[in-house]
Structure 1
Amino acid sequence: MNKCIKKEVIINGNGRKIYGVSYMPENKEKCPVVIFSHGYNGNNNDFAMNSEYLATNGVGAYCFDFCGGSVNSKSELKTSEMSIFTEKEDLSAVIDEIRSWDNVDEDNVFLFGASQGGLVTALVAEEHMEKIKGMLLLYPALCIADNWNERFPTIESIPDIQEFWGMTLGRIFFESIHGYDVFKHIGKFNKNTLIMHGDKDEVVPLEYGNSGSKLYPHSKFEVFPGEGHGFSEAGNKRVAEMTYEFVKENLNNM
């Protein structure tokens, strides 16, 4: 077992400060890393348990706060200035920074995204295929554009401000996904992909995860019986174990 070295790390990307925490195994060798992207109104703490588990098993992790992605975000930007596309910029900046670290094996960088962070991760992976070794998506919110386009069918119907689930969203969030077809922008990522989804998810219907999985050439779809949007302790433990196994199976040097 490795000792986990936990450290606050600020990354500068697109003129914004991105706050995050790295979890690295205490050894001098370059290690594989998993970059965790949280969901709507989540933060870097959401995957602390997963990250500590990985680090004690020799795999590094970085968890960060999307800019404007949460009322508890320690990164810059107001929640009303955030969109799926500002979050894409954040994750892209994080990938480039982490691949440059001395203790990171740049050929073995993996992405993990949950809910809205899963959608963002899927979109980013398409554009940074050569930098990413594999991708894990946890109940990815591939339904976001469909949901809001149904609610605001015309540009004129989009409000300047919208309160949703304890967070204030701005016009940019809705305008940027108006008429956007997520499924036309994902599926080309040609590395191994694991999508995990609960069959009792009332926020992101299971069909979205299943449909997304079918688009990828090397994809596995894992259904968690009885789990909703946000897993039980047992479900989360299994996700952490499956993440480690996925990384181990996909390492370049094994």
Structure 2
Amino acid sequence: MKHRSRKIYGVFYMPVDRKNCPAVIFSHGFNGTNVDFAMNSEYLAGNGVGAYCFDFCGGSVNSKSDLKTSEMSLFTEKEDLCAVIDMIKDRDDVDRDNIFLFGSSQGGLVTALVTEDYIDEIKGILLLFPAFCVTDNWTATFPKIDSIPDTYEFWDVTLGRVFFESIHGYNVFEHIGNFHKNVLIFQGDQDEIATLEYGEKAAKLYPHARMEVFPGEEHGFSEAGNKKVADMTFKFVKENS
């Protein structure tokens, strides 16, 4: 699909011979791709729930969507997810009253921000170790606007000035919490990147949020942890549809 003159690559996972089914839109984390949630999506499709996984524009060195990583920001990713939601809700084989969002790490932060603008359209959200820490971390790294470089290498990804400048001093918690439907947050108690305290702070802002803490899991779950997340995602969809 295309929006704002850029292409978004995505993959549908739909139940066989099932129309008007609930659907989950998966948003990957920093330097991730749509493939990160192939297992989750296949599991859902096999149980009557549709799924769509896509690559954020500039969201990864392996992205099949447009833009360079140096052109990406939280807000270009927000635009991408909004465009995906608008596309999904107009499909004949999707129940537009039962669209769910699932976001991982930075994609979890983007999902939370987007949901505030789509409260009526989204039935529930699931956040996997959401990186609500991103803006605090980068503002601390570059405390002054004039200290932000034109490009910066992070985890082998070249980021541009737009990424840091657009979130400088941005308080995430002032921009989430109005979504009044169910929210499920998956969090590892050994996560040293998106720490428990950030997830707990977010959970307190939502009227109907629950946090599931996974003992021993870090930022990136084990195979067993991921399988549990897939099963809990399916149950969440069924309970809220």
Instruction: Give CA deviations for 1:35-85 in whole Å, capped at 9, x if unaligned.
Output: 000000000000000000000000000000000000000000000000000
- The alignment's C-alpha RMSD in Å is 0.5
Ranges in structure 2 where 5+ consecutive residues have no aligned partner: none
Name which of 47, 53, 67 aligns with 2:57: 67
| Matched letter for residue 99 of structure 1 | K
2:198 maps to 208
Shift of 1:202: 1.2
Aligned residues: 241
What percentage of residue pairs aligned between the two structures are identical?
A: 70
Displaced runs of 4 or more, over 6 A = none
Distance 1:123 1:14 in 2: 19
Distance 1:28 1:163 in 2: 45
8 Å contact kept, 1:14–1:93: no
Distance 2:184 2:18 in 1: 29
8 Å contact kept, 1:39–1:114: yes
- Tell me, what secondary structure is at the counterpart of 1:246? helix
Distance 2:227 2:18 in 1: 28
Shift of 1:232: 0.3
- Tell me, what secondary structure is at the counterpart of 1:231? coil
8 Å contact kept, 2:126–2:233: yes
Distance 1:14 1:139 in 2: 29
Distance 2:222 2:68 in 1: 31
Distance 1:188 1:106 in 2: 21
1:24 maps to 14
Q: Which residues of 2 match residues 144-223 of structure 1 at below 5 A?
A: 144-223=134-213
8 Å contact kept, 1:125–1:189: yes
Name which of 108, 115, 124 aligns with 2:98: 108
Shift of 1:29: 2.1
- Tell me the TM-score normalised to structure 1 length: 0.94
Distance 1:28 1:223 in 2: 34
Distance 1:111 1:245 in 2: 14
Shift of 1:12: 1.4
Distance 1:69 1:142 in 2: 17
Distance 1:14 1:203 in 2: 32
1:96 maps to 86
Ranges in structure 1 where 5+ consecutive residues have no aligned partner: 1-10
Note if 1:139 corresponds to 2:138.
no
| Matched letter for residue 245 of structure 1 | K
Name which of 71, 81, 85 aligns with 2:75: 85
